[in-house]
Amino acid sequence: MATPLGRERTALTEKPVRWKEMDFVKLPGFSRPSRTDKGVHALQSSVHLDLESSRSLEYSPEYLTSIFNKYFHKNNLDIRIQSCQTVPDTFHARHSVKSRTYLYRFAVRKPCAETFKHNVESLAQIPFSEWKRKPEFDETRLRSALKLFLGVRDFRTFTTIRSKLESQAPPTVRTLHKLELSRGKPLLDAHYDPTNAHYTYWNITCKARSFLYKQIRRTVGVLLAVAQGHVSVDKVQHMFECPSHESWDPRASSAPPHGLYLVNVEYDPQDLMLCDNAGDLLTNTDAKIDHKSHKPRSYGFVVDTKPDFQVAQVLPGLCMGSQDVAQDTKLLAINQITHVLSLGVKVETVPSIVYRYEEVLDTPECQLQSILEPCFMFIDEGRRRGCVFVHCNAGVSRSAALVIAYLMKQGLSFKEGHAHLKKARSVIKPNPGFVAQLHMYEGMSPLMCCNYVYTQ
């Protein structure tokens, strides 16, 4: 199923899919797992919607699937929902992706085929432009170039994103898990499309967690140029050894978008599972709620009702926990704490310790962007001079969000930072607004990270 860019957003959010009847506070927020170029197809994809009812109603996944598909069918929209489930607030359709798999289909004209005229494209049942490509195609040479792309590589040469200043350029290092060449098939049998006999069909399968703008199409373009003898394998090696827009060989060109298909989006099953307030996993069956039920939505705000003296070591020179630790001079001395960063909760000071306080409320609407950079500088200074302790009230939401942001600045993804901190302090649970801001922070370049604003 080909999904034109933006059409899915209109269908899911801007059209009146019984939103008024379902009494939602506002039109749902919408996120998809990838931003595909115009002309690229999607055979399978996913989205997430943030739904909030003014009467605290929750609708079952089966009910939502039914009303959406009825609406799509009624309005002749080429979209169908195969399944739907309730997910935790930490899930994000794009940032929680484990891997994306793309398929690029192309055809090579056989040497024995008749010389085509310029109007032959219109003769095919499914028009394509491969008839313009020369029949020379060395499969062995292409396969020898495939291995150069696998693993952790700097793909700066394979993207068209540019920046006036090199320091402002977005990161271009990606990990390619799979890049394979295999024989393909025509979409229609030769009985229905006689032009099929003139071509050999091929598939290139590409799998990674994320891709740069036009990375796949430029990769395919280079591989085709190698197979046709226009670009050498050594030149491809040079593109990786000297990653730069200047390293691009003009004898190669980006493959056209119509041959590219998004075929699979993979998530870690753990990221799709709900947790109750005690941290126990709930199955999707447990999460199914009848759409007529009146169970109020819970954001899981933490009420600190008992002392918590755990000192969680996150990194060398960085610890976090609750306010109870920050007010216990013995624990501070035992853990050699030299700096204390307090978020929303002021504590009594000790002369030998350096303190910093930031006013932060534990609400989804509270913006973190203004405090990130000064807090990061304080943590860096504290780690150089000794050990920093970060706390809020319970050491669950505010301090956890800030420490995860700090871990992300060190190079971890949101998922990796959350998992790393969870191992050190299992009770962490940033509120949904903080989680959304961290997802936004993850997708920004270093110079933009402290200038964003989260809006619900």
The residues annotated as belonging to the active site are 392
Half-sphere exposure of 427 (CA within 13 A, CB side): 18
Place of tokens 């004209």: 109
Question: β-strand 339-343 against 354-358: which pairing, if any?
Answer: parallel
Give the C-alpha separation, 169 to 163, whole Å: 5
The type of residue at 321 is G
Our measurement of the distance from residue 107's CA atom to the centroid of its chain's CA atoms, rounded to an integer in Å, reads: 31
Residue 183 pairs with which residues in a beta bridge?
202
Record the tokens describing residue 124, joined without a space: 């095919």
What are the strands of the beta sheet with 151-154, ordered from one edge?
41-42, 260-267, 97-109, 199-208, 173-183, 151-154
Q: Which residues pair with 7 in a beta bridge?
A: none
Strand 312-315 with 318-321, pairing: antiparallel
User: Cα–Cα distance between 11 and 34 in angstroms, integer?
Assistant: 17
Tallying the residues shown for the chain, one arrives at 456
Is 85:271 a contact under the CB 8 Å cutoff? no
